Each structure stands twice: as structure tokens, then as C-alpha cells.
Amino acid sequence: MRIVSVVGARPEFIQVAPLCWAVAAPELAGEVEHVLVHTGQHYDRLMSDVFFRSLCLPEPGVMLGAGSGSHGAQTGAILAAIEPVLLDLAPDWVVVFGDTNSTIAGALAAVKLHLPVAHVEAGLRSFNRAMPEEINRILTDHAADVLFTPTDGASARLAVEGLGHRVRQVGDIKTEVTYVVRDQVRDQAPVLPDGVTPDERYYLATLHRAENTDDPDRLAAWLEAMAGLDAPVALLVHPRLRDHCARWGLDLHRGALRPAEPLDYPEMVRAVMGSAGVVTDSGGLQKEAFLLGVPCTTVRTETEWTETVDLGWNALCPKPSDLAGAVCRPVPPPSDAAPYGRGDTARRILDVLRGEPRPS
């Protein structure tokens, strides 16, 4: 059978990795042809290429080169570019991941061509319709034929939306990558910005969501709050953050802030493992911190990964003035709860795709 996975933004390169590894397993030799279609939403070396190298992903079979743009322009460019590719490849399944503009464009193009679509990481909701990702994930869930959910909560939400019959709960695909990579990097030294040494206490931070970075006053307030923390802050700078700071004259070199380029995935996992805490507005990083036993402070009003909060490892901090207090809260007791599965998600996805009758 032929599976096309649509990827384009940084989190999708991580999500697709276990599927690439599972397809290459000897017992499936020759049975599954897996083609990666890279939309080009992320194109910088540090946002794309390094992930293919560090996670041993195969070269994309097709590069669409859509690039940046407004949401409509970017989603539309991917939609137009991917349609002839899907027609040509005629896959048995089109697999999309998460909630990016590449996700919704890939799902929409495929479903309109009557190609079966599977959505990995289905059923997550922030209930914040101002987030572009929330719109993408709702529409993708309703377009897809099979919904691979990571958690009980995600499956239950889809049932409420009338989609329970399409749900296959398989655990969280990123958990699988995190565990594999954790075991590979455990004995390596972390890659840290100038001014941060591995044997001192440090925080690891990222900030890229539109709600935090598109308004100069709010962005300035977050940078000021991070700069005032009680230990060095290794701030991994996303292109959106870099561009907006340059445009508004906001200095990233101040106080506790130690800015650096984004890391590849193994470097990121290792840097989280060595940190005293994570400060982020990323969805994936909140969960990775939990899986790696590091407390996280999420600089948003809500999270899709509510289990991390319920279990005490994640705290929501929507106000910059509350950040210093939030990062210093006591560390919760260790937990062996596994709300995201045990790391066998890709294998379970392939079992479903290989056994599932094509939707009529």
C-alpha cells in the first residue's frame, strides 16, 4: 500500500518520525510505500533540514515550496500545489498531523479528491477560536476519515462532536519520539547558549505564538518577565520572534535572557532534561517537559494537553507579571501516570491503516 504523509512545519517533522521508522521495520519490508510530501511551510535550515538529519527521516518525495504568507495565502498555496501531487500519487491513505496550515490544506485537498484521510493527534481542543491552530484542528477532524487520538479526553471530545465512529485511540505519536530520543541523548552534554553552563541552574524557554509575539507591548512584557527570572534563561529564538524583535527594536540580550538559535530535536530533548524548568507557549514542549520529568510554565490562557496541568507538572501563566512566581513553585512528586501512551503509537497507526477498509 502507499501512504502519503503531509508535513511542512517543525512539529510535523517530529510527529512523522516514528511512522518513518515503523514503515522501515524488517517485518514490513516492501509492504508499505511511504512518501513524504513537504509543503515548504517551514524552509529555514534550522526549522526544517536539521530535523530530517537528526531524526533520520528519508528525503521528502515531493517538495511543494509553499513558503510563508498570511494564513489564507499560505493555506491556499499548499492546497493548490498539493492537489496534482495527490492525483499523481493516488495513495491509499493521506496522513496529516496536528494543527498547522499544512495539516488543514493537506486534509482538504485529499478529501475533495475522495482520498482517505487519517488525522494523527486528533481531538485536541483549546476552545480558543482566536488561535489559527484551533480552527485548523477542528476542520481537519471533521474532514478526516480516521481520527487517531492521543488520549481519553481527545476521544471523548470527538464523540461529543459526533465523530466517535471515526476514532481510533492509539496514544501520542510525539511521546514515542521523545522516549526514543531521551534514551539516545541521556549521556550527551547539552548544547546551551553562550552564558549558560550545564552544571548551573537554568531555564529553557521558547516563545512564538501569534498571541504572544504579534503585539509589541505584550512581547516586550514577556521578554522583561523572562529577563527578570532567578536563573539564566536559554531562549531558543523562532524566526517569528527574531523578526518581531528586530522590527520593534526589542533587545534579546538583557538580564537573565541568553538567546540562541533553535535546536534540533535531540539537542532540544537534552537541553530540557538538564533544565530546572521550561517556559513556553509551544504545545509540544509542554508535553515533552512532562514526559522528561521537568516542570513547565505555559505562557498561555489554556492548554490542549490538560493532563500535564492535572498531574501538577504544568502551570498556565497568561500574565507576564506572574511568571517569576510561577516558575518558582514547588516541583510535584514523581508520577508514573502515562496519559499519552507508552510509545507504540506508530505501530498501532500502521496496523489500523493496513487493516481498515477504505472509507466509502
> Which residues are at the interface with ligand UD1 (CB under 6 A)?
9-11, 41-44, 47, 68, 74, 99-101, 132-133, 208, 238-240, 243, 282
Contact in structure between 185 and 284 (CB atoms under 8 Å): no
Nearest distance in Å: CB 41, ligand UD1: 5
Cell of residue 50, nine digits = 536539521
Q: Which residues, at least 6 apart from 30, have a Cβ–Cβ distance to it below 8 Å?
A: none
Q: How far is the CB of 276 from ligand UD1 (least distance, A)?
A: 24
User: CB of 215: closest distance to ligand UD1 in angstroms?
Assistant: 14
Candidates 34, 38, 119, 208; catalytic one: 208
Strands (E), the chain: 2-7, 33-38, 62-63, 93-97, 117-120, 146-149, 167-169, 203-206, 233-236, 257-260, 277-280, 296-298, 314-316
3-state secondary structure of 317: coil
Longest dimension (CA), the chain: 59
Sequence-ordered strand ranges (E) for 170-269? 203-206, 233-236, 257-260
C-alpha–C-alpha distance, residues 203 and 146, integer Å: 39
* Strand ranges (E), 28-163: 33-38, 62-63, 93-97, 117-120, 146-149
**Contact criterion met (CB below 8 Å) for 147 and 141:** yes
For the chain, the residue count is 360
- Rounded to 5, what percent of the chain is helix, strand, coil? 45, 15, 40
**Residue number, 74 or 275, with CB nearest to ligand UD1:** 74
State the nearest-atom distance from the C-beta of 132 to ligand UD1, in Å.
Answer: 4
Q: Smallest distance, Å, CB 346 to ligand UD1?
A: 21
In angstroms, give the least distance from the CB of 50 to ligand UD1. 11
Q: Is 21 or 43 the residue whose CB approaches ligand UD1 more closely?
A: 43
Question: Is residue 208 annotated as part of the catalytic site, yes or no?
Answer: yes
Residue with cell 481527545: 154
CA distance 278 to 204: 5
Distance of CA 7 to the CA centre of its chain: 11
| Residues annotated catalytic, as ranges | 208
